[in-house]
Amino acid sequence: MNAPEISVIVPLYNEEAGLPALFDRLYPALDALGADYEVIFINDGSRDRSAAMLRTQFEKRPDVTRAILLAANAGQHMAIMAGFEHSRGQIVVTLDADLQNPPEEIGKLVAKVREGYDCVGSIRQNRQDTPFRRWASKAMNRLRERITRIKMTDQGCMLRAYSRSIIDAINNCREVSTFIPALAYSFAQNPAEVEVAHEERHAGDSKYSLYSLIRLNFDLMTSFSLIPLQFFSMLGIGISFLSALFVVFLFIRRLMVGPEAEGVFTLFGIAFFLIGLTLFGVGLLGEYIGRIYQQVRHRPRYLIGAILERKE
C-alpha cells in the first residue's frame, strides 16, 4: 500500500455514544486538507459497541480507515503506541475520541510540521474542564517541568503531531510504561506548540479517574527523571544530621536539667512525621523498582485481537 502523508491515530475506550459525531466531523476535516491520509482507530478493549461501530465505519471508508482491536484494555498511551507501530504516514497526529479537541484543528498541527518542526504540541484555549481539573493540570505542569526539565505548556492535551523520525525513534523504545508527549519531546530537535480550541465532551464521561491521573503522573515523573529519588536522598541526609543535633541537645539538656516527662507528645509528633516521610520515600522507591520489574519480564505491552485494513 502507498504510504499516505498523514496518519491520524484515535485511541478509544467505551466511546459508543460519541463515535457517530466523531466520524461525521473527522473525515470532512481531513478531506479538506487535500492530502493523502489514513485514520487508525485503536479500540482499547471497549466493553460497549465501539468495536462493532468501527467495523461498520471501516466498511464505509476502507480506503482510508484502519482499526486495531486490542484484546484487552492496555491504557491510552499503550493504545497510541500500537497505532504508532502500525502507522505509515510522514506526519502522525494523535487525537482523543471525545471531541474535546476538535478534528478541524488538525490542519494547524499539520501545517506546523510542514514548516519543518518535528514535534508539535497544542495548548488548549478556553478549557471546558472543571476548575479543579484546570488547577491540577497547571500544578502538575509546573512540577513536571521542574523535575524532568521537559517544557510543555499543556501536557494533558493529546492533540499532537509528530514527524516520521520522531515516530521511528519512539517505536524503537521498548518501555512497558511511558508518557508519550514527554518521550517525543525528549527526541525532538525542533519542537513547537500551537493554540487550539477546546470543547465540552460530546458524550459519555472521562475515562481518567483521579487514581488514573495519579498513576499517569507517576509514569511521567519516574520515567524521565531521577530527581525524586535524589531529593529523598538529600532529605534523608538532612534529617539524619538534624536528628543527630537533636540527640546531642537532649543529652546536654538531661545533664543540665535532669529527666523530665514534658515534651513527650512533641517527640511523638516528630516521630510520626519521620515515619510518614520514610514510608513515602519507600513507596517512591517501590515505584521505580516496580517499573524495573515490569520491564525485565518482557511481557507484551498490548495484545491485538484483530486488525481491520484493506490489503492491496
Specify the higher pLDDT residue, 300 or 73: 73
Please report, for the domain that includes residue 179, its CATH number.
3.90.550.10
Is 213 among the domain residues? no
Contact 84, 132 (CB under 8 A): no
Q: Are residues 19 and 83 in the same domain?
A: yes
Is 216 among the domain residues? no
Q: Which residues contact 37 (CB under 8 A, 6 or more apart)?
A: 4, 5, 6, 7, 8, 30, 64, 89
Q: Are residues 172 and 253 in the same domain?
A: no
Confidence of residue 301 (pLDDT cuts 50, 70, 90): confident
Is 139 among the domain residues? yes
31 φ/ψ angles, rounded to the nearest 5 degrees? -60, -35
> Is the C-alpha dihedral spanning 214, 201, 6, 150 positive or negative?
negative
Burial class (CB in 10 A: 0-12, 13-18, 19+), 251: exposed
Specify the higher pLDDT residue, 260 or 52: 52
Q: Are residues 269 and 123 in the same domain?
A: no
Range scoring the smallest mean pLDDT among 47-56, 208-217, 218-227: 208-217
Q: Are residues 279 and 304 in the same domain?
A: no
Is 217 among the domain residues? no
Judge whether residue 213 has pLDDT over 70: no
Q: Are residues 27 and 86 in the same domain?
A: yes
What is the distance between the alpha carbons of residues 88 and 33, in angstroms, rounded to a whole number? 18
Q: Are residues 241 and 115 in the same domain?
A: no
Judge whether residue 212 has pLDDT over 70: no
Judge whether residue 265 has pLDDT over 70: no
Number of structural domains (the chain) is 2
Could you list the residue range(s) of the whole structural domain that residue 286 is in?
227-297
Q: Are residues 170 and 245 in the same domain?
A: no
Q: Angle CA(129)–CA(132)–CA(137) in degrees, nearest 5?
A: 75
What is the distance between the alpha carbons of residues 57 and 209, in angstroms, rounded to a whole number? 29
Q: Are residues 51 and 154 in the same domain?
A: yes
Please give the pLDDT value at position 113.
97
Closest Cα partner for 95 from 168, 199, 2?
199
